[in-house]
Amino acid sequence: MPFLFLIFVLAMIDRVNIGYAKLYFSQDLGFSDVVYGAGAGAFFVGFVLADVPSNLLLYRFGTRITISRIMISWGLVSSAMMFIVTPTHFYLLRFALGLAEGGLFPGIYLYLTFWFPARLRAKMLALSLAAIPVAGLIGAPISGYLLHLMSDVGKLRGWQWMFLFEGLPSVIVGAIAYFYLEDSPQDAPWLTESEKRAIHDTFSLHSPQRAQTPRVSWRHAIVSPVFRLLVTLQIINGIANSSFSFWLPQIVHDLGITDSRTNGLVTAIPYLCAAIGITYWGYSSDQKRERRWHYALAAIVGASGLTIVCGSGRQIEVAIAGLSLAYVGALSCTCVFWAYTTTYLKDKAAVIGIGLINSIAALVSYVSLIGFGAVRSATHSANMALSVIAILMLGAGLLAFRLPTYVENED
């Protein structure tokens, strides 16, 4: 789990550091908010194309090869972002980054189902997803300082050095992953034979009946009402989380915090709160063996936080508190959602279904990032876009009660 946590941290730093660089390369290269939104979102187009195929490859060839290949390729592409000059370069490299990283998150969600039963899964997912805010907590100040300290060093701009320095660790860890990760508990040399049998027996005992075809057959799963509901919920999760990931530094900048170092430190506050909040929420959901109310309450917390931001009137302390609440809610929704989804979907339905849900949500996130940029350009404020996201999160909280309850009782 610590190694998977590290992988997620590096992935999120390389995925969202564009938000910090945007404050500088947009001026250097003359990119508008619409160009930025389209480029940031182009990541999701490549992500969608690679998502399901990558999950199938992981299922066939194993975790070590798949995760190592993903990390090395995305690290190289992320470092290559230092060479962007035109919007076309920007779009192509962001697309390539999504293509390289595609399958990482759903692949690890699938990987965790090999190791942990449903009753422990929200905790493990929370620990993994806590890497997202921790990446912001670490990456925000580091990116801010690189942007400031490395500006014009060796005739390169600070944002170019940032992309280079933050991409290379992924290449190194990707090479280590091939030798460190085990494809399944049965391959782990640090487990005794009795421990391997215990894990195998646990999963065998609690496997659903094969007759439940919508849960084990991907063809039945993708046309079922429950699957459509899961897709809808993840679309809303994706819109909320991608907006935070790619626009948070700009939102903080709009509050009047324009210095790159200070912006990085202030931006880290919502990430810190989210890391604590998602960990607690995952443990609570597992302890109470409940998913729907946990999802709904997290969605309400997220929507309330966004409402506070929109009504803050540029009061920095109030706005940051609202952003912190909103991010806690958005990430906690994601944690509970995947705990439920990875319990509901089994066998081949899980392999394809998890990737397909993530792909569809990523594609909508791409469109939403372009829309976010267009709204901000037209209104010179993020409030309208944040208000729409708040309404969507409230709707998601209500929709969660339509999920079947019997899944919550499975071990």
pLDDT in the model for residue 31: 84
Residue for token pair 């009047």 = 256
Whether residue 205 is predicted with pLDDT greater than 60 in this model: the reply is: no
Cα torsion 227, 49, 234, 130 to 10°: value is 130
Structure tokens at 83: 């060479």
Domain of residue 86: give its range.
Answer: 2-409
Rounded CA separation 323/133 (Å): 13
Band of the pLDDT at 210, cuts 50, 70, 90?
very low
Mean pLDDT score, 395-401:
94
Structure tokens at 114: 């090999």
Structure tokens at 92: 């192509």
Over the range 320-349, which residues count as b (16 or more CB within 10 Å of their CB) and which as e? bbbbbbbbbbbbbbbbbbbbbbbbbbbbeb
Asked whether 230 and 344 are in contact (CB, 8 A), the reply is yes
Longest CA–CA separation in the chain, Å: 65
Rounded CA separation 132/230 (Å): 21
Residue for token pair 């404050």 = 23
pLDDT in the model for residue 324: 92
- Which CATH number is 288's domain given? 1.20.1250.20
Count of CB atoms situated within 10 Å of the CB of 73: 18
Asked whether 41 and 81 are in contact (CB, 8 A), the reply is no
Rounded CA separation 159/139 (Å): 13
Q: Which is more confident, 47 or 239?
A: 239
Asked whether 263 and 144 are in contact (CB, 8 A), the reply is yes
pLDDT in the model for residue 75: 93
* Structural domain total, the chain: 1
pLDDT in the model for residue 215: 65
Rounded CA separation 95/49 (Å): 10
Rounded CA separation 132/12 (Å): 6
Structure tokens at 367: 């469109």
